[in-house]
A and B are shown apart, each in its own frame.
Chain A
């Protein structure tokens, strides 16, 4: 059974529907990538799973979210608070929004174990140092005594990961964990997350705009666009035989250095904003294969193997 599964999720803010028909599931020891451009709804998906929608005035209108057999869709805030930062850990894009600039690192990480695992401060500190060590942070005891501003961006991101791990979570949600970092640091953090998934048997939901990061780390992929999932499947099928024209185009947008044979085309037009999601298939205004039906009817998912694409012409040779 899946550790976390989201079925046909729909979200509304008043009369605006920024998210609909999003489904995915992830098992222990597995990494799923949710990939999309800005405004695709990938971060909103993460917030829905974390139960943070009410905070920003949103609500779930369709579908459900199941975590380890428990339905989270209508979970009250008090119960959610136990899960969040406990059995479900979150890593955000900007470590500064997760770290208190006025508190030392040690107490900040300790607080998680004290709150969620009901440890004494002393036990919590020992645990913090253990975790920092597994994250390959040199001299954990020294780091515990530092303030966030005394550290580099990569180190701060590791502290945020340590906080997410402190309560021994089953699911880790990482929202663009490396976007603000340099490539060499990104490589370290990705390697670290990869190791954690294997060593701790975690289920990792990796939200990113970067297809190369997905290719490097994920087992499964959901491709999102304009608040919808357009294609999902194993990482091999998504990259080797993408069915949805958007996935194909997105892969075609990645610059590949070296031989210089492949030409970058880009996708004509612009990413739609929440206010002007197109009718029918959301991608049709930018799609080279769009027909009449695409402008009117939202396509259903067509399965092929263990993958599926929401396109009227999925599987049809272009």
Chain B
């Protein structure tokens, strides 16, 4: 199986310039992330707010310029591409955004929003524009009668379907899904997830799925990357692999099962997520980790495969 996407040591450093009343500071939003995404697979990236998962998605698509590392998409080195080469390549790699409420221009009708990708790429759809709109709307399960509606006239779930139709218009091979259901009701979330599953099967898509919801990621994905403060701390090769990193274990324990018979007492995680601006040396989780030893506070662990799947921990479980 060939890799559609290869990410190597990808990093992004943001810096806040200093001023008369504050020091200049910088933070690693994403720090040395590497993984392979084979064609047709679904990798989930899970983590809590501020862990860098959304930035990672934008670095891969070069919506945010990385400060280091490499991204290879279908054999092409993305970071070596010029702006115009990159624009052409974007047709192949699309994104579905978290907030459907602002992901369509309020002045655009559904039809215009869905056909815009062709206009932007200077392409013509195979049939007429009208036929293409109908085809795309049908593909995402929307009634063709909605084509002339404006965004404020349709529901959040319908907007997200329009967002997906827009992303699919140019027939991409990779879809990056950035929390596509986080702002939807559960009943609608399930619809959208069902649609994405069906599209993957019908169109042979490859997904990178970003989410804070571990049960959703477990349900939807083949492999899972767990992020904490900009780093991948564990790469679960399958969704029911046991946690080896203490943070992953906490995350799993904190995720409730929808079954009152599976109630459990949750051992509360002590402390707070440290500020990404002045990270202590060593493992970022060490402060809150019950298994932490002296080395954890000195040396940052790298992803390591000894004894099981990759985990960045000195004392894996």
Contact = CB atoms under 8 A, between A and B. Distances in A.
Contacts of B256: 187, 190, 210, 212-213, 215-216
B188 A215 contact: no
Interface string A173-216: 00000000011101110111000000000000000011111011
Interface stretch (A92-100, A125-133, A251-259): A251-259
Nearest to B269: A184
Contacts of A108: none
Given A239-B260, A255-B219, A257-B219, A136 B268 contact: yes
B212 interface: yes
A38 B185 contact: yes
A294 B303 CA distance: 57
A256 B219 contact: yes
B19 interface: no
A258 B240 contact: yes
A255 B220 contact: yes
Tell which of A186, A257, A265 has the most Cβ of chain B within 10 Å: A257
Given A154-B272, A236-B260, A264-B194, A253 B265 contact: no
Interface residues of B, number: 46
A182 B48 contact: yes
A188 B269 contact: yes
Contacts of A251: 258
Given A239-B259, A268-B191, A257 B217 contact: yes
Contacts of A236: 260-261
B266 interface: yes
A255 B260 contact: no
A148 B7 CA distance: 40
Contacts of A213: 256
B192 A257 contact: no
Interface stretch (B57-65, B83-91, B162-170, B246-254): B246-254
Contacts of B54: none
Nearest to A272: B155
Nearest to B186: A253
A262 to B, nearest CB: 8
Contact of A216 (B186, B191, B218, B263): B263
A152 interface: yes
A255 B193 contact: yes
Contact of A215 (B187, B253, B259): B259
A257 B212 contact: no
B50 to A, nearest CB: 9
Looking at B49, B186, B194, B216, the one whose CB has the most chain A CB atoms below 10 A away is B186
B214 A257 contact: yes
A90 to B, nearest CB: 23
A235 B215 CA distance: 21
Interface in B253-301: 253-263, 265-266, 268-269, 272-273
Interface in B229-257: 239-240, 250-251, 253-257
Interface residues of A, number: 47
Nearest to B158: A270
B252 to A, nearest CB: 9
A183 B219 contact: no
B187 A37 contact: yes
B269 A260 contact: no
Interface string B66-107: 000000000000000000000000000000000000000000
Contacts of A184: 48, 250-251, 254, 269
Contacts of B194: 263-266
Contact of A191 (B49, B155, B262, B265): B265
Given A255-B193, A258-B240, A267 B187 contact: yes
A212 B217 CA distance: 15
B110 to A, nearest CB: 15
Interface string B148-187: 0000000101100000000000000000000000000111
A-B pairs with lowest CB-CB distance, top 4: A257-B218, A266-B191, A266-B190, A187-B254
Given A216-B257, A256-B257, A265-B191, 15 more contacts: A37-B187, A187-B268, A188-B268, A190-B266, A209-B186, A215-B256, A216-B256, A251-B258, A255-B218, A255-B219, A257-B216, A264-B193, A264-B194, A270-B155, A270-B188
24 contacts: A37-B186, A152-B273, A182-B212, A183-B212, A183-B255, A184-B254, A187-B269, A188-B269, A191-B265, A192-B268, A210-B256, A212-B256, A215-B263, A218-B260, A250-B187, A254-B186, A254-B258, A257-B218, A257-B219, A265-B190, A265-B194, A266-B190, A267-B191, A271-B187
Interface of A: 37-38, 136, 152, 154-155, 182-184, 186-188, 190-192, 209-213, 215-216, 218, 235-236, 239, 249-260, 263-268, 270-271, 286
Interface of B: 48-49, 155, 157-158, 185-194, 197, 212-220, 239-240, 250-251, 253-263, 265-266, 268-269, 272-273
